[in-house]
Structure 1
Amino acid sequence: MAWQNPWYDASKSHHTPEGFRNPEPETRQPGDLDRWRKERKAQGLPRPPQQGYEQFIAQWWQQADLSGSDNRIWWLGHAAMLLRVNQRYILIDPALSKRASPVRFAGPQRKTPAPLQIRQLPQLDYVLISHSHYDHLDRPTVRKIVARFPQATFIVPLGLAPWCKRQGIRHVTQLDWWDSTRADGIDFHAVPAKHWSMRTFHDRNRSLWCGWVIVTSTTRFWFSGDSGYSESLYEIPRRLGPFNVAALPNGAYAPKWFMNSQHMDPDQAVKLWRHMAQPLTVPIHWGVFELADESLDEPPEDLARAIAASGEDNGQFSPWRIGESRPLP
């Protein structure tokens, strides 16, 4: 018998009887994946950073400093983030292993070190996961969290709770788009993203993908997760903004003809940033894994060009070093 979506709601456009989908039309065509693989192999892409990997690490990496007690946000590389709010610690998409892969001997390999390890965290209260891909939901990191912080609550999109339970996670809350949960004076909202999910050859789009909005008395933070650009995303700041801090994708966008259905490019990220009144914004999804055709050092350069072209550089949307932190506005 074919798998049936147990959360199916016919009134919701992103639900299907077999799983989930993006409301926007699919732009990829059959054969595009093979075409992309052949083109990147023929062109020898991605290429190393212009000054080499060691110089890239020296320029764009630092050890995370967890001292202090103020409300603060860290970028941990790729899409991994850490927040300290209301004396609570929140991890988002913590993929800290050497590979983004189901196996240890193959798959995308880290080119920059993780700026911290789970054992270095003084406490951990909540873990947010945006979707099931290995560069966001990393089983070895999750197992370390379970061992050190068994009381941590995982908040995940629909369909990922069963996987979490199999890893020994005790406290799991799963949400649909626009659902929310509240704990310790913090509101967690699951919000739409334009992406997809897959962890095995048999579960494509059987779990949902999402972004997250975290709201406290002083902070409104939008983490977009992995998302292609869509004007439907404007509904998020309309409903839950204004935001004083955000994290938007800035990597894995080349070639645009193939990647734009699932990842924003810097021009699109800047367009979205301008729409939400230009808050402090962390460019994410770059600097660690070579998942597309651009080199590791291209996203910062392309973002700088996009910001300059917008004519609205207020210093609030610029690349951070991996491991860097700043006080929450």
Structure 2
Amino acid sequence: MAGVLTPAMPPTDFHHRLDSRMLGPLGAARLWWSFPSDEEARRDAARVPVTPDAPLPDPAAGMLGVTWLGHASALLWVDGVTVLVDPVLSPGIPGAARRLTPPGRTVEGLPPIDAVLISHDHYDHLDVRTLAALPRTTRILAGLNSGTFFRARGFRDVVELDWWDSAGFAGLSGEVRVEFVPARHWSRRTATDRCHRLWGGWTVTAPDGRSVYHAGDTATGPFLERIAARHRRIEIAALPVGAYAPRDLLREVHMDPAEAVRAAEVLRAPRMVPIHWGTFVLSGEPVLEPLEATRRAWARTRRPREDLWDLPIGGSRTL
């Protein structure tokens, strides 16, 4: 790995980068009461397409691709480099009921990976049970102030990145760059560590300049234009489309489907992968609504239907 850029003295927290309103107790209670019932959610989840253990792509020179593993978990394939983003493959997470749909792969069924990329520390993106099943030699890339968390769990190869920092990997055609990019979100795992660890998204760029973008978890914002200006050939954008209702409570931390489709246009990404839906009950919208609304929003743009990569859980597509 080459070219890692990391400040020697990161800030102690990142409240200064917070541009979202946090939910207070009343807002959190209202959000919880908005949830569909477990019966409704599981009835709808039975219609979420799942293809567990479907064949995976073979890493190849020049190939870009995505495998959706459920929620925000994904494998990104770029010029022979394979990275695993936000792996949450266990039966459930704190703060939510057991998952509605199975993961696209078990940890044992994962291919060889070059690194795990963690967008932020929320439980639906950073799962200690999944991490515990990974080899401790696994390379971890995460935001500033995250290193202590992973090293305490035995991981020895941990790289902390600020926004716009990157790390290099040996691809089949040259160097593949993995860059940590801004997001409009926040971080917290306990009552005392809000905004302690930096949150963000990821671009993975092939030697020829083409990129795959994984947004992690984010609301919309002007940072998208900055990413587009820096990465002018984003070919595939994996964008969150769920956990958006009630809208007045969540608009500052999560995109809705129409905003996600607009984000793909801002990024000039020809192809979009809807993620962050169909796995956990985290908000008030029905389980299938994010996908249905994304399809409607995409159709209104008159972009080619085949460029909306609405994958089944466990499904893959490549260029």
TM-score normalised to the size of structure 1? Answer: 0.84
Distance in 1, Cα, partners of 2:309 & 2:82: 24
- Pair 175,18 (structure 1): closer, same or farther in 2 beyond 3 Å: closer
**Which residue number in structure 2 is paired with residue 108 of structure 1?**
97
- The answer on 1:190 being equivalent to 2:185 is no
Distance in 1, Cα, partners of 2:16 & 2:91: 30
**Which residue number in structure 2 is paired with residue 82 of structure 1?**
75
Moved more, 152-161 or 77-86: 77-86
- Pair 121,30 (structure 1): closer, same or farther in 2 beyond 3 Å: closer
State the Cα deviation string for residues 228-257 of structure 1 (Å, max 9, x = none).
111232110111222011111111111111
When the two structures are aligned, how many residues end up with a matched partner?
303
Give ranges in structure 2 of 5+ residues lacking alignment.
1-8
Over the matched positions of the two proteins, sequence identity in percent amounts to 33
Larger RCO: Structure 1 or Structure 2 (Cα < 8 Å, ≥ 6 residues apart)?
2
**Which residue number in structure 2 is paired with residue 3 of structure 1?**
none
Distance in 1, Cα, partners of 2:74 & 2:87: 7
**Which residue number in structure 1 is paired with residue 147 of structure 2?**
161
Moved more, 303-312 or 110-119: 303-312
1:46–1:295: 8 Å Cα contact kept in structure 2? no
Moved more, 247-256 or 86-95: 86-95
1:192–1:209: 8 Å Cα contact kept in structure 2? yes
2:69–2:314: 8 Å Cα contact kept in structure 1? yes
Give ranges in structure 1 of 5+ residues lacking alignment.
1-5, 9-16
1:125–1:151: 8 Å Cα contact kept in structure 2? no
| Match among 151, 164, 170 for residue 137 of structure 2 | 151
1:286–1:296: 8 Å Cα contact kept in structure 2? yes
Moved more, 88-97 or 69-78: 69-78
2:224–2:267: 8 Å Cα contact kept in structure 1? no
| Match among 122, 132, 136 for residue 133 of structure 1 | 122
1:74–1:324: 8 Å Cα contact kept in structure 2? yes
TM-score normalised to the size of structure 2? Answer: 0.87
Root mean square deviation, CA, Å: 2.3
1:156–1:175: 8 Å Cα contact kept in structure 2? yes
CA deviation after TM superposition for structure 1 residue 301, in Å: 0.8
- Pair 239,34 (structure 1): closer, same or farther in 2 beyond 3 Å: same
CA deviation after TM superposition for structure 1 residue 123, in Å: 1.6
Structure 2 residue identity aligned to 1:175: L
- Pair 47,319 (structure 1): closer, same or farther in 2 beyond 3 Å: farther
- Pair 293,324 (structure 1): closer, same or farther in 2 beyond 3 Å: same
Distance in 1, Cα, partners of 2:20 & 2:291: 30
Structure 1 residue identity aligned to 2:167: T
- Pair 269,52 (structure 1): closer, same or farther in 2 beyond 3 Å: closer
State the Cα deviation string for residues 195-221 of structure 1 (Å, max 9, x = none).
010111111111110001111124411
CA deviation after TM superposition for structure 1 residue 114, in Å: 1.1
CA deviation after TM superposition for structure 1 residue 47, in Å: 6.6
Distance in 2, Cα, partners of 1:273 & 1:265: 13
